[in-house]
Structure 1
Amino acid sequence: MRLIGTVTPDLPLLVVAVEEESAHLGGRFPVLLTGMGKINATAALATVLARGDRPSEIVNLGTAGALRSGWAGTHQVSRVLQHDLDSRVLNLLTGRTFGGPIELGPEQGPVLATGDLFVSDPEARDRLAQSADLVDMEGYALAIVAQRAGVPIRLVKHVSDEAGEGAARTWRESVDGCAKILADWVHTRL
């Protein structure tokens, strides 16, 4: 975890997983680098918010894999779910729902599936495509922390690859270009 800048109530906090995704953001807004995965994202954002640092909103910027052919560009997510927590079984065991989907706003946008698995297997991709459009490793964790803290959050994802075979290679090749596009989104929308 690394916080660059100072969190203040008049500015959004930009949250990214890794330095490569923040390479072109500049210094206008504070940036939190969380590390990859749900646990790193949860721990980093919860730590910052627990110190009393309250931004005007949280904007999670990052890359995402497309779960179906034809998805490209930058998208603001409207719904996020966990794909590696079996909520159905947990509900059967306890009678309570854990890790259900989170609605992020009334705007029509893609559904994001979050899990601690870098999806590079075509079978996993096809299974996830039944309930989501994009896949990442941090979005759900950040959304639940923000929701519990009462801080508005937006998840903004740029498609870096089609999740499946070759996704890791494609991500490495495209992450800098994705970071430039995400920085442009920040400079024109915030």
Structure 2
Amino acid sequence: MLLAPLPETSFTGRLRGEIRPDRPLLVVAAEAEAARFDDTFPLLITGMGKVRAAMELTLALSSARPREVVNVGTAGALKDSPNAVVEVARVIQHDLPDDVLHQLSGAYYGSPLTVRPGPGLTLATGDSFIADSRTRTLLAERADLVDMEGYAVASVAQRFGLPVRIVKYVSDQADESAATAWPDAAATASGVLADWIGRHLA
């Protein structure tokens, strides 16, 4: 059976550099978030969303193992927060009704994942770009930040038995201003995250 070709505008993952056991693998969603990164470490650009992130990282790890997986990129703030680099301790899926699925099937499909021991920030991942105050308020009851890939990256890394870190630049307030704020913030994030990488992963 032949697979249908992807439409010409469909994104396909891009791996820059060679995955090696003595180097971390950087994972980002968007080209803009990695524009200022150098070639010190291998970099996987997955595209946006949970499915794309999980698929591209799984393909990359199927042939080589890094020292660790480091998901870097942008996240919206669910509680008022300055633009800064933060490391996540726990990640959840905000668009998967895991309790309902457990009642139906007896199994959990999206339990919270701990990526850094101890207290810290919770990241909510979902396949929606959050840009309205009502949704932001509801999500703030469960998490501190929101993105579209972190849970998927953590899930795949842990499934492969690899350490994983999630490091985000707070790019917007996940409210009505987010859509206009993100492009410029992503460009800023690239430089700030490149500096973080140089200071923390060498």
Scaled by the length of structure 1, the TM-score of the pair is 0.97
1:12 CA displacement: 0.3
Once the two structures are superposed, the pairs formed by residues 126-165 of structure 1 within 5 Å of their partners are 126-165=137-176
Separation (CA, whole Å) in 2 of partners of 1:91 and 1:98 = 8
Which residue number corresponds to residue 32 of structure 1? 44
Which residue number corresponds to residue 112 of structure 2? 101
**Structure (1 or 2) with the larger CA radius of gyration:** 2
Which residue number corresponds to residue 23 of structure 1? 35
Q: Does 1:48 align with 2:60?
A: yes
SS in 1 for 2:165: strand
Which residue number corresponds to residue 80 of structure 2? 69
Which residue number corresponds to residue 2 of structure 1? 14
Scaled by the length of structure 2, the TM-score of the pair is 0.92
For the 8 Å contact 1:75–1:109, the answer to whether it is kept is no
What amino acid sits opposite 1:42 in the alignment? A
Deviations 1:11-59 (A, max 9, x none): 00000001100011101000000000000000000001112x1000000
Task: Go from structure 1 to structure 2 and tell me whether the alpha carbon gap of 1:71 and 1:101 turns closer, same or farther (over 3 Å shift).
Answer: farther
Identity percentage over the alignment?
50
Which residue number corresponds to residue 132 of structure 2? 121
SS in 2 for 1:188: helix
1:71 CA displacement: 4.5
What amino acid sits opposite 2:178 in the alignment? A
Which residue number corresponds to residue 92 of structure 1? 103
1:140 CA displacement: 0.1
Structure 2: stretches of 5+ with no match in the other structure: 1-12
Which residue number corresponds to residue 23 of structure 2? 11
Separation (CA, whole Å) in 2 of partners of 1:48 and 1:151 = 13
1:174 CA displacement: 1.3
Separation (CA, whole Å) in 2 of partners of 1:107 and 1:35 = 30
1:177 CA displacement: 0.7
SS in 1 for 2:60: helix
Separation (CA, whole Å) in 2 of partners of 1:71 and 1:129 = 16
Which residue number corresponds to residue 81 of structure 1? 92
From 69, 77, 81, give the equivalent of 1:58: 69
What amino acid sits opposite 2:33 in the alignment? E
Q: Does 1:178 align with 2:189?
A: yes
Deviations 1:127-178 (A, max 9, x none): 1000000000000000000010001100000100000101011001211111
Structure 1: stretches of 5+ with no match in the other structure: none
Separation (CA, whole Å) in 1 of partners of 2:108 and 2:75 = 26
Count of matched residue pairs: 189
